[in-house]
Amino acid sequence: MSYDPSLFPKTMPENPERATLEGKNKFLGLWFFLGGETVLFASLFGTYLALRNSTAGGPTSEELFGLELVFLMTIILLTSSLTSVYAMYHMRNNDFKKTQLWLGITGLFGISFLGLEIYEFTHYITEYGFTFRSSAFGSAFYALVGFHGGHVTFGVVWLITLMIRNAKRGLNLYNAPKFNTFSLYWHYIDVIWVFVFTVVYLIGKVG
Amino acid sequence: MTDNINTENLKAFRKQKNKEAMKRNLISFALMILVTLIAFIVVATGAVESMFAIPIIVFLAIIQVGFQFYYFMHMKDKGHAMPTVLIYGGVWAALLTLAGLVLISWW
Amino acid sequence: MSQAATQKRSFGAFLWDYLTTVDHKKIAHLYLFGGGFFFLLGGIEAVIIRIQLIKPENDFISAGLYNEMITMHGTTMIFLAAMPLLLGLMNAVMPLQIGARDVSFPFLNALGFWLFMFGGILLNLSWFFGGAPDAGWTSYAALAMDSPGHGVDYYVMGLQIAGAGTLMGGINFLATIVNMRAPGMTYMRMPMFSWATFITSVLILFAFPALTINLFLLMFDRMFGTAFFDVTLGGNTIIWQHLFWIFGHPEVYILILPLFGVFSEIFPTFSRKRLFGYTAMVFATMLIAFLGFMVWAHHMFTVGLGPVANSIFAVGTMAIAVPTGIKIFNWLATMWGGSVKINSAMLWSLGFIPSFTIGGMTGVMLGSAVADYQYHDTYFVIAHFHYVIVGGTVFGIFAALHYWWPLMFGRILNEKMGKWSFWTFFIGFHLTFFIQHFLGLMGMPRRYWVFLEDQGLDLGNFISTIGSFFMSFSVILFLINIIYTAVKGEKALADPWDGRTLEWATGSCPPPYYNFKQLPLVRGLDPLWIEKMEGNGKMTPAEPLGDVHMPNSSILPFLMSLGFFIAGFGFIYQTENPLWYIALYGGIGFALLCMIIRSVKDDHGYYIKKEELEREAS
């Protein structure tokens, strides 16, 4: 890494992720991106709500969904959000080792969430024949929940890349914004999940 | 010499502030778990009619998302004016999209 | 990687420079070139349409080819011509106007361009590979699902790739304007074009995701057998219409707001008088953008949404006329009492005023849901939107090119050719489209490849086609003007129009590659004019002379876009032969690899040393 001394101050500033121009730009860039993602997911939610009763004779949401699994997935993702907050807390206290630790835990929770979701989808496909193509409801369900899962997957890959790349570097003003940008993204996919479990699974069971 | 003391004081002050922020985050987390539990219980027990259950759980979701944005994502902190504007703008466009697809799509 | 002053270099070096540039000024050149190229394609498509309609029951082209022609004309003009030309102008001018050295994310800027370019190329390759899309630029789900061949698949993939580029551009401009304004430039001291860029970028941010999802739904249905639009499995084609127009209506405001910004620069400069009602102009722009999101269903009045929905959208549609009217009056008031200079830029701007106003007026007519039952799908609608898009966007682009050509290329476009171009285009435009209002009122439907004789439509269509030849002449003359100017044109001084805003304050036209040696101190609205009125002649610097940080060039944006381009073919043809999955996964994999390289390889940019800047001063 080319040595730019301004990136390694003796005293790390209070908000290292926003201390440089690049940091401020990344911060805004991600928040604006999240604004756009809000409309993206709203389009998917709208499509789902319009098509959730179009089951084409196949299984309905009441028959398919199991609230216990969804509750477990929710707690896992919510906890991973908390662990990423811990990671950022340690980053602001300039404790690299603890930042890495909590980011790692976040990643593990993320992978567990994905594992459970894969199990869930496999269960629907094999037990019920409920696929992406079997009905409009199926298409809409897998599109919405699948896009969310895709975002989680992208997040996990991003996290692993960040952690490996920065493992030997410690915290500085170059990578602090990168960690923070990831953390904001990770919180946002929990935001979307809150609406997913409410609109898809809870309303699916209520009818 | 005073420089060192000043830096140490500064670090201690920041550590204290961060600790308080973390405590608030932890409380937020606990409340979020609670809100999630309530939502699941409302639906799982079937205690409330669906006509009321749906607005209740949507309302609970909005509360939880509020915690996520304002506390976990620091939207209540200084320097978040633009992000707030753009997120609410996105929410507005999102609501319009939902309204269109839910209220006036019935074929 | 510093640049020596003027240095002859090989074509290869020139090409590599443009393939790897992250400089907003060069990216602007690329957008103008790309957008200009597709504008010519779209224009040829238009002339072919008009030739087919020059007489009743013509057989210049077949019905199927006609459908492809109208689809591609609309899609190319909106997505591949107008939008890139606007992104080019915003790239060239906005960072300079706010006193910045580049945009917030120069790499992303380049990526946005190459995604657009490859998306546009992909879409147009359909002509050679089995036929272009033929379901209209709006590609409504039922017709699009049934369209045989791969045309619509090219539409989906081409627009998805190009659209991703546009979204990146929007985020980039937003971050730049929020973060990188020069010291002293508060929001209410920003020039109107930069405000327009800001608000347009917000529209892009919120509108394009709806299109993204819509294209995904169509892609999944056509290529992977899902059931979003398959009625037999419970699907619903109205979803396509809603999502399309939730994108589509803000899209047309994306097409016009930057040009409103352009006119707000040109009128003051060439009236030598400040913009009338700056604050009102800012808020009117915001209001237009806000209302623009709430009227999409006026494209769906005849779908059967019901009287309540129709009324709500009708009222909202008419409401947009109010802030727009405020702007027109303020431009007129800017000129009133000013020392008006009529050059090409001013001619295009003056031509815009009545033309766009007529278009806006017919828009209010169309906004009446009741009346729209008569207008819908007739030439009246075609006349309306060409009046606003050509009369607004195209006129504005020509005006902006004349105004900012010195800034972008260091020369002034030839005035004589410019004036001839304007008048022939203006006459041709009104010949073509004014008549179409009446053709529509007489009942001529749109998107019909022939019309029958003795219905009173013959003469109108004939005149309409003649108008298109006038416009073709004008565009060819403009092209000649560009080439002539490049070879023999008058070199521009630093401030050829006695400008009011910072883009003219860098000391040369075009600016040096680092824009400002020292960031300027902004003391108010029209910052350069303030300094001129105080007798300074140039801006006061806001910082001492120091090392300037510049971003590094990179070939990765080009390569990443190439990866998605190849994957696009994979997606389109995997229904025919599973071997195409190699292209699909290979392309995506390659693009992801480029992303990982970008993440993992440090890129801190480079510094221009203070001593070098001091040398360049002398």
Q: Which of C179, C201, C213 to mutate to test the interface with A (most CBs of A within 10 A)?
A: C213
A27 to chain B, closest Cα gap in Å: 9
- A41, A75, A187 member nearest B72 (Cβ): A187
What's the mean pLDDT when you consider all of chain C?
95
Inspect the interface and report whether the beta carbons of A206 and B43 lie closer than 8 Å: yes
- Taking the Cβ of residue C205 and every Cβ of chain B, the question of whether any pair is shorter than 8 Å is answered with yes
C interface residues, A as partner, C-beta within 8 Å: 104-105, 167, 170-172, 174-175, 178-180, 205-210, 212-214, 216-217, 220-221, 224-228, 230, 232-236, 239, 242-243, 246, 596, 599-600, 602, 604
Q: Count CB neighbours of A167 within 10 A.
A: 10
pLDDT in tens, C569-602: 999 999 999 999 999 999 999 999 999 999 989 8
Give the residue-averaged pLDDT of C525-536.
94
Q: Which of C179, C293, C301 to mutate to test the interface with B (most CBs of B within 10 A)?
A: C293
φ, ψ for residue C549 (rounded to 5)? -90, 130
β-pairing, C606-608 vs C548-550, is antiparallel
The residue with tokens 């939880």 is B64
Q: How far apart are CA A163 and CA C437, in angstroms?
A: 63
Angstrom distances, CA of residue C452 to CA of A188, C29, C39, C57, C434: 58, 46, 31, 6, 21
8 A C-beta contact, residue C59 and residue C449: no
Size of interface B-C (CB pairs under 8 A): 41
- C206, C296, C297 member nearest B89 (Cβ): C206
- B32, B58, B95 member nearest A198 (Cβ): B58
Beta bridge partners of C548: C608
- Taking 50 as the threshold, does the pLDDT of residue C154 lie above it? yes
- Taking the Cβ of residue A131 and every Cβ of chain C, the question of whether any pair is shorter than 8 Å is answered with no
Which pLDDT value is given to residue B1? 60
Give the residue-averaged pLDDT of C452-480.
96
Q: How far apart are CA C29 and CA C600, in angstroms?
A: 30
Inspect the interface and report whether the beta carbons of C242 and B105 lie closer than 8 Å: yes
Per-residue pLDDT of chain A (207 residues; tens, 9 = 90+): 456 788 888 888 888 899 999 999 999 999 999 999 999 999 999 999 999 999 999 999 999 999 999 999 999 999 999 999 999 999 999 999 999 999 999 999 999 999 999 999 999 999 999 999 999 999 999 999 999 999 999 999 999 999 999 999 889 999 999 999 999 999 999 999 999 999 999 999 987
8 A C-beta contact, residue A43 and residue C214: yes
Chain C residues inside the 8 Å CB shell of A133: 224-227
B51 to chain A, closest Cα gap in Å: 9
Which helix (H) or strand (E) segment holds residue C548: the answer is: strand C548-550
- B97 → chain C, closest CA residue: C246
CB neighbour list of residue B86: distance below 8 Å, 6 or more residues apart: A31, A32, A35, C174, C202, C205
Q: CA C218, C224, C229 angle in degrees (round to 5)?
A: 40
Give the residue-averaged pLDDT of C146-174.
96
Beta bridge partners of C445: C378
Inspect the interface and report whether the beta carbons of B96 and C297 lie closer than 8 Å: no
- Taking 70 as the threshold, does the pLDDT of residue C35 lie above it? yes
Describe the crossing of helices C395-409 and C458-488 by its angle, rounded to 10 degrees. 10
- A41, A46, A81 member nearest B101 (Cβ): A46
Question: What's the predicted TM-score (pTM) here?
Answer: 0.96
